[in-house]
């Protein structure tokens, strides 16, 4: 009878360990999903803003009659492209960081 108690204690500890592992994995998955959704929303907003800016640039080009206006339009287009590239790069970095966090947390838990 005395030998049964350590086995039960070990089994209970094992069950708690499994539950803790599952909770950690679920929390990590939820955090990663939320991060990806936020990144996708940010990218969508940037694309919408860039499209609106592109329409404004197209209107400016249609109205432009002097060299100075054309130069301004080109500069605006370049700035918009740089902003979009930077935001997409940051989004990719955030997704990569989330993937690394998941890999590390799963490796630590298991």
Buried b (16+ CB within 10 A) or exposed e, 50-79: beebeeebeeeeeeeeeeeeeeebeebbee
pLDDT in tens, 26-67: 787 777 777 777 877 877 787 788 778 777 777 777 676 666
Q: Two tokens at 53?
A: 């800016």
Please give the pLDDT value at position 75: 78
User: Residue 77 in contact with residue 3, Cβ under 8 Å?
Assistant: no
Q: Which of 105, 102, 109, 110 is nearest to 33 (CA)?
A: 102
Percent of the chain with pLDDT over 90: 0
Helix then strand then coil, in percent of the chain rounded to 5, is 95, 0, 5
Chain-centre distance for alpha carbon 107 = 21
Q: Two tokens at 29?
A: 């998955």
Residue 108 banded pLDDT, cuts 50, 70, 90: low
Q: Which of 13, 22, 7 is nearest to 109 (CA)?
A: 22
Least confident piece of the model among 21-30, 40-49, 63-72, 84-93: 63-72
Domain ranges of the chain: 27-109
């Amino acid at each position: 009878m005395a030998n049964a108690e350590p086995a039960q204690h070990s089994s209970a500890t094992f069950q708690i360990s499994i539950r803790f592992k599952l909770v950690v994995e679920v929390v990590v998955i939820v955090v990663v999903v939320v991060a990806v959704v936020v990144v996708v929303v940010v990218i969508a907003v940037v694309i919408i803003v860039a499209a609106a800016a592109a329409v404004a640039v197209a209107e400016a080009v249609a109205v432009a009659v002097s060299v100075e206006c054309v130069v301004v339009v080109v500069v605006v287009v370049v700035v918009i492209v740089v902003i979009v590239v930077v935001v997409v790069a940051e989004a990719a970095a955030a997704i990569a960081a989330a993937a690394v966090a998941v890999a590390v947390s799963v490796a630590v838990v298991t």
